[in-house]
Structure 1
Amino acid sequence: MKRVVIGLSGGVDSSVAAHLLKEQGYEVIGLFMKNWHDDTVTISNECPWLDDSNDAMLVAEKLGIPFQTVDLSEEYKERIVDYMFNEYEKGRTPNPDVLCNREIKFDVFMKIALDLGADFVATGHYCRKGTIEKEGNDVFQLLAGVDDNKDQSYFLCQLSQEQLSKSLFPIGELTKPEVREIAMELDLVTADKKDSQGLCFIGKVKLPEFLQQQLKPKEGVIVEIPKEQALYQETEQNFSSTEEKLHYLSRKLDYKLEHGKIVGKHQGAHYFTKGQRKGLGVGGTIEPLFVIDTDVNENVIYTGQGKAHPGLYKSALFVTNAELHWIRKDLELQIGETLEVMARIRYRQALEKATLHKVATGMYVEFENPQSAITEGQFVAWYLGDELVGSGVIS
């Protein structure tokens, strides 16, 4: 019997994943990851990780598998929380869920599991793993989950071949309603538990509140940029190369106070992110205001009216070599090469047609249709068919 250690989160997905593994004949061990116990930042008196670890323990008991808790809060603080604050202070918007998977679940946690003699680590993600043979070697594929509505492959876009080789995703072939149904039949305590919202693993912590407790408030102004601003008037450009054109398309516009009018005040540019509509507290506009850019150095938020504001849209983005990651190393592009892919710049976004252009300093992703709120610090992931082959941090 091969031994599998599964991360039991106290949710329905990992509970059913554990059951399926047992049915498939694996020796299953449940581990609950405790990633946070700083009570100063939870926003309610509920103690989410205690409830969750209790539920995980009850599930393990019901399934008849050994269970223990591991405390990874130190690594979590160092690798996720500190990184996040650092990014926010630079005016970038990180994705904690993607980082959690790369740094905690499939690294720190995986090492603990392998030390326990595990052959594999399993999670309750809605995605699938494929294996193909290439030049006599096994190549592992990260495939989208069967449930289009729940596909979570995006969150695993930073995994390596080595991490994938030791991973199992038991519920990837199922839809969420099917997973709930199995949990009901087994009478698991997690059967109708709501999906967790909030910061990955920390439980009921809302990101803005969490940030506000850590990053000092600093009053600044909110500026509204009109749609007609000269910055948006496209003039005929003659580019000497594709790279020059891509550089132009992916450029960050340089907003100044005089480009618009001051319409309000805020408590810190680092609390806001591109595309954000809520929390600005500015009324009286015909269409709602959206954040089109933040300047953390000058502490200014630039906004525009309406979803269609030109300041929200760009048709290309850039990823530096240092932040470029191929799950499928064998498909990696060389300088000058291009590849047509489907890509997304956020979880839950429909896949969009795009072309990858590899240049000496990194890679451009050029979209067929302009994309709204391309945000520095977030991840872009690209697919061939239903296989996620690579990703990068938007620079």
Structure 2
Amino acid sequence: MKRVIIGLSGGVDSSVAAYLLKEQGYEVIGLFMKNWHDDSVTISDECPWLEDSNDAMLVADKLGIPFQTVDLSEQYKERIVDYMFSEYEKGRTPNPDVLCNREIKFDVFMDIAMELGADYVATGHYCRKGTLVRGGKEIYQLLSGVDGNKDQSYFLCQLSQAQLAKALFPIGHLTKPQVRDIAKAQDLITAEKRDSQGLCFIGKVKLPEFLQQQLKPKEGVIVEVDDSLSVYNTPRPEFGSKLQLLEFLSKKPEYNLSDGKVVGKHQGAHYFTKGQRKGLAVGGTKEPLFVIDTDVDENIIYTGQGKNHPGLLRNVLFVSENELHWIREDLSLKEGETMEVFARIRYRQPLQKATLHKVETGLYVEFNEMQSAITEGQFVAWYHGEELLGSGIIS
């Protein structure tokens, strides 16, 4: 019997994953990860770990599998929370869920599982794993979940071959309604439980209040930039090479205070992110204001009216070499090579046609269509059909 250690979160997905593994004849052990202690920053009772760990324990009891709690809050603070603070401070917008999978669930947690003699680690993610044999060597594939509404492959876009080798995703071939039906049929306490939202393991937080633990409020101005600004309407220069064109298109405009009018005040540019609409508290505009850029050095937020403001739209982004990651290392591009792919810059975004261009310093991702709010610090992930091939942090 192969031993599988499953991260039981107290939700319906991991509960059903544990049940299915047991049905398949694995020896299953449930582990609940306690990664956060400070409930003062969570909104209401959105993700109280106590209730979750209790539900996880009741599910384990119902399934007749051993259960224990592991406290990973120290590693979570170091690797996720501190990283978040430092990224926001730089004016970038991190994705803690992607990092949480790479750094916590499939690293720290996986190490603990292996020490407990596990052959595999399982989670309740909506994605699938494939295996190919090339030149006598097994290569693992990360495939999107069958349920298009719930596909979570994007959140696992930073996994390595070594991590995938030991991973199991028991519910990836099911839809959410099917998962709930199985939970009901097995009388699991989590069958009707709502999905948790917000930060991985912390729950729903008031982000400014959460960030204020380390990033102090600092009053600054909100500037509205008109879509007639010359930078948006300057004819494109002629370029001697495709590379020069890509470099030009990947650069965001540089704004100055004189490029618009002051329309309000804010409590810290580092609390805001590109594309954000809520929290600006500025009224009286024909169309809603969206953040088009933040300047954390000068503490200025630049905004524009409407979701089609030219300050929000670009079709090329860059990933620097040290932030580039291939799940399929055998398909990684060499300098000068290109690849046609489908890509997304955020979870749940429909896949977009794009071309990858490998250069010495990293990788350009050129989309066929304009993309809204390409945000530094977020992840771009690229696919071939159902398979996620690689990802990178947007520079």
* TM-score higher than 0.5: yes
Q: CA deviation at 1:45?
A: 6.5
State percent identity of aligned pairs. 77
Task: For structure 1, list consecutive stretches of 5 or more residues without a partner in the other structure.
Answer: none
Q: Which amino acid aligns with 2:131?
A: T
2:74 match: secondary structure? helix
Query: 1:282 corresponds to which residue?
Result: 282
Equivalent-residue separation in structure 2 for 1:46 and 1:248 (angstroms): 44
Q: Is the 8 A contact 1:199 1:206 kept in 2?
A: no
Equivalent-residue separation in structure 2 for 1:35 and 1:141 (angstroms): 29
Equivalent-residue separation in structure 2 for 1:101 and 1:48 (angstroms): 20
Query: 2:273 corresponds to which residue?
Result: 273
Q: Which amino acid aligns with 1:202?
A: I
Q: CA deviation at 1:241?
A: 1.0
Equivalent-residue separation in structure 2 for 1:179 and 1:207 (angstroms): 31
Alignment length, in residue pairs? 395
- Residues 326-345 of structure 1: pairs in structure 2 closer than 5 A: 326-345=326-345
Equivalent-residue separation in structure 2 for 1:53 and 1:29 (angstroms): 14
Q: Deviations over 1:73-116 (max 9, x none)?
A: 00000000000000000000000000000000000000000000
Q: CA deviation at 1:42?
A: 3.2
1:280 match: secondary structure? coil
Q: CA deviation at 1:39?
A: 3.6
Q: Which amino acid aligns with 2:175?
A: T
Equivalent-residue separation in structure 2 for 1:204 and 1:68 (angstroms): 25
Equivalent-residue separation in structure 1 for 2:208 and 2:177 (angstroms): 31
Moved more, 190-199 or 159-168: 190-199
Q: CA deviation at 1:47?
A: 7.2
Query: 1:229 corresponds to which residue?
Result: 229
Query: 1:296 corresponds to which residue?
Result: 296
Equivalent-residue separation in structure 2 for 1:207 and 1:15 (angstroms): 29
After TM superposition, what 4+ stretches of structure 1 lie above 6 angstroms from structure 2?
Answer: none
- Residues 1-395 of structure 1: pairs in structure 2 closer than 5 A: 1-44=1-44, 48-395=48-395
Equivalent-residue separation in structure 1 for 2:284 and 2:218 (angstroms): 24
Report the aligned-residue RMSD.
1.0
Equivalent-residue separation in structure 2 for 1:284 and 1:39 (angstroms): 37
Q: Which amino acid aligns with 2:264?
A: G
Task: For structure 2, list consecutive stretches of 5 or more residues without a partner in the other structure.
Answer: none
Q: CA deviation at 1:177?
A: 0.3
Q: CA deviation at 1:213?
A: 3.4
Q: Is the 8 A contact 2:157 2:391 kept in 1?
A: yes
Q: Is the 8 A contact 1:41 1:213 kept in 2?
A: no
TM-score calculated relative to the size of structure 1: 0.99
Q: Is the 8 A contact 1:326 1:390 kept in 2?
A: yes
Q: CA deviation at 1:208?
A: 3.2
Q: CA deviation at 1:237?
A: 1.6
Equivalent-residue separation in structure 1 for 2:224 and 2:42 (angstroms): 34
Q: Deviations over 1:270-298 (max 9, x none)?
A: 00000000000000000000000000000
2:356 match: secondary structure? strand
